[in-house]
Structure 1
Amino acid sequence: MQAIHDAELENWHDYEVGSRREIVALLRQIEEKKQLIRMKIKGEADVCVTSILEVDPDSGQFILDRSINREQNERIVNARGVTCETYLDKIRILFSLGSVHDTVHEGTAALVADIPETLIRLQRREFYRMPTPVTNPVPAVVPMPFELGGGNTTFPLADISCGGVALLDNKMLLNSTVGQIFTGCRIDLPEIGTVTTSLQVRNSLDVTMLNNKTSRRIGCMFVDISRGNMAAVQRYITRLERERNAKLAGLG
């Protein structure tokens, strides 16, 4: 896990989960999968690795394992608040606890805290990419350089994440050199709206299709994307995820 910073919980409101039912479900999944949690006292660098032992929505609390370090436990209990970080299905989860207290769980010393009112469910590019529809591709309009005639050319997306997109360049028109930046791109997200951002090439891959034609997949990172546009991307990813889950459940 990467280091958690106190400011992160304040910067990622676009990824905030406020549903009590969803928060309880996420905490229970973290418990069931025995995911390790990094707990850090706010303002300090010391980190305690713990795990969830039980989630009790009726009492509004959940039980955490204690640190093997007695002094560390004392600092956690006496702290004015702690921040917690874990991963669930490769998605980063962050939340803050106002206070943590000593308790006993199944005859063993443990820690107890109130279930957080909100948490951050951060689907980052390096962990989570959603394939976009093949039959009705999401179009990305890229301004072309003067030497290629100028104007705009539309490229279908292969996938999308909170960090960027993959473009399908079937005619190999774009400069796929790593670091190349395409400015003023427009991505039309169905039922969400248009996202405007610059895209920077991070990787490219030439793929031979079943018809023996070659297509180029260009992985791009968002550059200087606004908060509003990022929120739109997140909403679209959530929509794709719900549609996929509905199909898997036989509802789609």
Structure 2
Amino acid sequence: MMIKPSPVAAVNLGTMSDLPAPPNSDVADLEGYYDRFYVHDAGEIRHHLQRLAAERSALIVRPDDTATALPTILLKADAGGFLIDVPASPAVQQAWLAAPLLRFSGSLDRAALRFSCGPARPEIFEDRPAFRLPLPERMLYLQRREFIRREPPLGTLICRLPVDEGACEVDATIRDIGGGGLAVLTTKSVIRLTVGDLLRGCRLDLPELGEVEVNLLVRHVLARSHLRPDLTQAGCEFVELSAAAQRKLFRYLLQLDRELLARRRRTLLE
């Protein structure tokens, strides 16, 4: 039987959250690099979840060992775990309930959050269906001061965005990029991006490193009419990057750092 999801209003999708690029020695060991950013205290984890619920923040959910990620809302967090809204699709509902582990990602005050837990079980919350999950054993929590974003030389990095359900692509200039996401510049006449759009199969052609395919979740959209009447900037978060894509992106970020350092040295010598 299909579980009807509860209506959700005033959803806060937050802003783009960038993960910092590890130094050269850690590129091959991403998990080891991020260990220092994990929270293990149950009280602190519950506090972050309660704040997500209070601010109606969205979370991206993916069953372990699958590539399908969808948004949901965290409804409540308590000593026994937390509750999320149920997805609209009966097939997705069954997939979430059958998965031994669900992977979550989101943001809170521009801090990136990542955690995994499970299994989910049905429960009623305020007379509406919900899924209950146990508190995660640990949570990746990256504060704003740990974010690193870089601006590639203008026009050197393009993101190819699929349109018309992948029938064709449009090129968007990348304004800045980090380990967790990027910002693209495009025009409304070419493509209209709105907060919450999930763009699958976007392609980045990284200089000297080759092509990377990513999924992008639009976190915020800003008008840049002072530069061009219909120009917009969309801040996007990478959704479920593969380890290989992460490594290639981090190498590109390190490449940008080296180029910037070289330019500064040349300036000092002039």
Structure 2 length as normaliser, TM-score? 0.45
Q: Which has the higher contact order (CA 8 A, sep 6+)?
A: 2
Higher gyration radius (CA): 1
Structure 1 length as normaliser, TM-score? 0.48
